[in-house]
Amino acid sequence: MTNHFSTVLNSQQYEAATTLEGPLLIIAGAGSGKTRVITHRISTLINSGIPLSSILAVTFTNKAAREMMGRIRLFNQRKKLNDLTVCTFHALGLKILIKFGDLLGFKRNFSIYDQTDKQSLIKELIRELNLESESTDTWQISALFSAIKTSLKSWNEDIQQYRALFNEYNTRLKLLNVVDFDDLIVLPVKLFDSFPDSLSYYQNKFQHIMVDEFQDTSSRQYELIKLLAVEHRSICVVGDDDQSIYSWRGASIENIAKFERDFPERLEIKLEQNYRSMRNILIAANSLIANNKNRKRKELWTKGGDGDHIQIFFPEDERQEADFIADHIHSLAIRQRIPLNQFGVLVRTNNLMRILEEAFRRENLPYRVSGGLSFFQRKEVKDIIAYLRVLANPDDNTNLLRIINTPRRGIGKKALESIIETAEKNSCSHFSAIALIAEKEQTAINEKMRESIGSFYNLINQYREKILSGRKMAPVLQSLVEIIEYRAFLFQEYQKSATAKLKYDYNVLGLIESLAYYENDPDNLEPGLFNYLNMISLANQEDSTEENDQHKINLMTIHASKGLEFEVVFIAAVEKDIIPHIRSQESGEMNIEEERRLFYVALTRAMSKLYLSAAATRKKHGKVIETEPSPFIAELPEELLRIQEKEVPVTPDQADRYFDDLKKLLPVKPRFDTYWPKSTVLANFLADLIG
DNA sequence: GCATTCTGTATTTTT
DNA sequence: TACAGAATGC
């Protein structure tokens, strides 16, 4: 098989895929066949007799991990690949904590807090510590804590006042038996520092390591991977400094330099041949990114043809823009028979997606969105998950507070106060306090309150027992949702927006379904509540539901498009203050380069057709704002651009004439005498057909 | 304790 | 526009 590679890989790719010893740095330009190289390399490792269990491949998203696994399976159909580890950094951190977390004082059933949980906890602590006088923007504080944990920031003068809160936050996490996202990376490093045996366990286990999207690893992630690799030094990292778009999350191009320093004996391979885009698109992308000073020199080239010009469209407003995109997709899909899943519509921010969705729905174009709020983060889904979390780990105060009166069960402000007070007095969790109240050990409380609290206590206990019994969990959850009358609660809560209610119903049932799917999956070796909750903490929508649908347009943020490619790409709202985003310009020069890289990533997703649009006005917070085109447009070579005229619909007279001509071509006389094409698309299609 | 109304704010990108 | 949190009334 190894020799077979040489015919499908170019010489650089071949060298990258077959160099199995020692550190390897692959600088892989956009569309240079990076994923192919990685999967080939893993297959080569496998075929050379290296045990699967000693191979670790780290990817950036779950989706990428799944795709990679799929491709490896294609190459190795005969083999069972269960022992192969292909996962994200966070999933790796989780695995490590599950195995050795007890050394750091975590119980087995720890749960993972996402941003929302984290912010609620911070809010709660601010209340407890009476810090309300300080700036209590939990959003900012949460970001600060992340920056501190990942060593992006250190305690300087102006943030000293949050130090106590930060310490309390961490103490509390441990008390609640909970970790946050940053902990998944930071704690394993800490573990390895304090317990060398755990480190050598993993150093011996993972003797061959690969890291994809290396330009987007954070310094802490790099630290983790370096610890693992430093002994056997068989580490291969693949990345492209021009596509580094996650510096706000701690990613740093510096890591490439660090890698060069830490592994001086490395071999470096550059992949510069692009197999994805037509030449015009590539030249435009090259000329844009050349404006960045801070980069490794590299120039993508292609053997492919020039292809079309890059089309630019300047609609009046965002509605016209959306219609333009929808019309064009429709028309290209029909005239050139391009399947809908070959269209990518990219935007800078999530809120730009809605108007496009509406246009697609108007034109009856099926679409799929990725990025944006994950299924598991929707409010009603989170509510039900909060129940599961409490069942799994009753000490999880944050989630307990979330569900204790949702749906309302008469445990209001007063009752909550006495619960929290009792908890403080006995220095125990809220749930234990509830137990004390329910079992009448805590006397000073009114009976009606005790009754409400008591029945909640019984509910949790009863269902905790049921769901941990080892029998199927989904029916238990189903019955829980029914017994708390969650459906009625949603109906009441959302009676104003009629569509919401259906949607919500769908989401809640979707969650139960997802649980059923999870526990009935034969490939799932260790089902169980804890594993399920961990899984969904790290997963997002695409990971759980619909797979690559053949007939859907892909609508997503530019960030979410990384690693993907489409025959036709539309980039919407290529406007000043959106690309580059206004908030990125607030702090410093470097950010404009990242925004440029982001636009570069967007451009290089396109294979043969690329459309940019910039509306003259755009509604923002209900107000119409005048906009300007993005300054990045001026960085593209002018001769490669075409300003797109609006498609003029044919007049009814013309349409009639076309239809008459068309009738003459038909062997049978149609039953209709006139035809009145209403949509531009149809009319133009008709015109096209007749010539 | 709960529902309704009013007010302010918008906070980019995601594991 | 859209959503959360506070304030008010039952």
pLDDT single digits (tens) A362-402: 888 999 887 666 778 888 888 999 999 999 999 998 899 88
Q: Which nucleotide's C1' is closest to A500 (Cα)?
A: C2
Q: How far is the CA of A220 from the C1' of B4 (A)?
A: 49
pLDDT of residue A680: 56
Q: What is the pLDDT of residue A676?
A: 47
Amino acid A673 CA to nucleotide C2 C1' distance, rounded Å: 49
The CA R_g of chain A, rounded to the nearest whole Å, is 28
**Distance in Å, residue A497 CA to nucleotide C2 C1':** 12
Flag whether pLDDT at A521 surpasses 80. yes
Beta carbon of A379 within 7 Å of strand C?
Answer: yes
Residue A689 pLDDT level (bands cut at 50, 70, 90): low
Across residues A419-425, what is the average pLDDT? 86
Return the number of other C-beta atoms located less than 10 Å from residue A610's C-beta: 29
Whether any strand C atom is under 7 angstroms from the Cβ of A622: the reply reads yes
| pLDDT-wise least confident of A103-112, A138-147, A409-418, A499-508 | A499-508
**Residue A13: predicted pLDDT:** 93
At A134 the pLDDT is 62
A621 touches strand C (CB under 7 A): yes
| CA angle centred on A27, ends A22 and A32, rounded to 5° | 120
Mean pLDDT, rounded, for A638-647: 82
pTM given for the model: 0.86
Q: How many Å apart are A638 CA and C1 C1'?
A: 37
pLDDT digits (tens, 9 = 90+) for A423-463: 888 888 899 999 998 887 666 677 888 888 899 999 999 99
Look-up of token digits 């007799």: A49
Predicted pLDDT at A2: 40
Active site residues of A: 34-35, 212-213, 243, 605
Instruction: Give the range with max mean pLDDT: A25-34, A114-123, A437-446.
Output: A25-34
Per-residue pLDDT tens over the stretch A574-596 = 999 999 898 887 766 668 899 99
Compute the average pLDDT of residues A629-653. Answer: 83
Give residue-wise pLDDT tens across range A302-357. 998 999 999 999 999 999 999 999 999 999 998 899 999 999 999 999 999 999 99
pLDDT score recorded for residue A648: 61
Is the distance between the Cβ of A496 and the closest atom of strand C smaller than 7 Å? no
Q: What is the 8-class DSSP label of residue A647?
A: P
Q: How far is the CA of A162 from the C1' of B10 (A)?
A: 25
CA-based nearest residue to A54, from A229, A253, A314, A267: A229
Percent of chain A predicted with pLDDT > 90: 49
CA–CA gap between residue A135 and residue A161 (Å, rounded): 10
Which range among A4-18, A290-304, A670-684 has the greatest average pLDDT?
Answer: A290-304
Which bases along strand B come within 7 Å of a protein CB atom? 1-3, 10-15
CA-wise closest residue to A374 among A554, A542, A560: A542
For chain C, which bases have at least one atom within 7 A of a protein Cβ? 1-2, 4
Confidence at A3, pLDDT banded by 50, 70, 90: very low
User: Is the pLDDT confidence value at A1 over 50?
Assistant: no
pLDDT tens figures, A220-235: 999 999 999 999 999 9
Between CA A68 and C1' C5 the distance (Å) reads 45
The pLDDT score that the predictor gives to residue A623 is 87
- Residues A602, A571 contacting (CB under 8 angstroms): yes
Residue nearest to nucleotide B11 (CA to C1'): A139
Q: Given this model, what pLDDT does residue A6 score?
A: 45
**Closest nucleotide relative to residue A89's CA, C1' based:** B15
Instruction: Report CA dihedral (A397, A401, A403, A408) to the nearest 10 degrees.
Output: 160
Q: Tell if A413 CB is < 7 Å from nucleic strand C.
A: no
- Per CA to C1' distance, which residue is closest to B12? A349
The nucleotide minimizing the C1' distance to residue A354's CA is C1
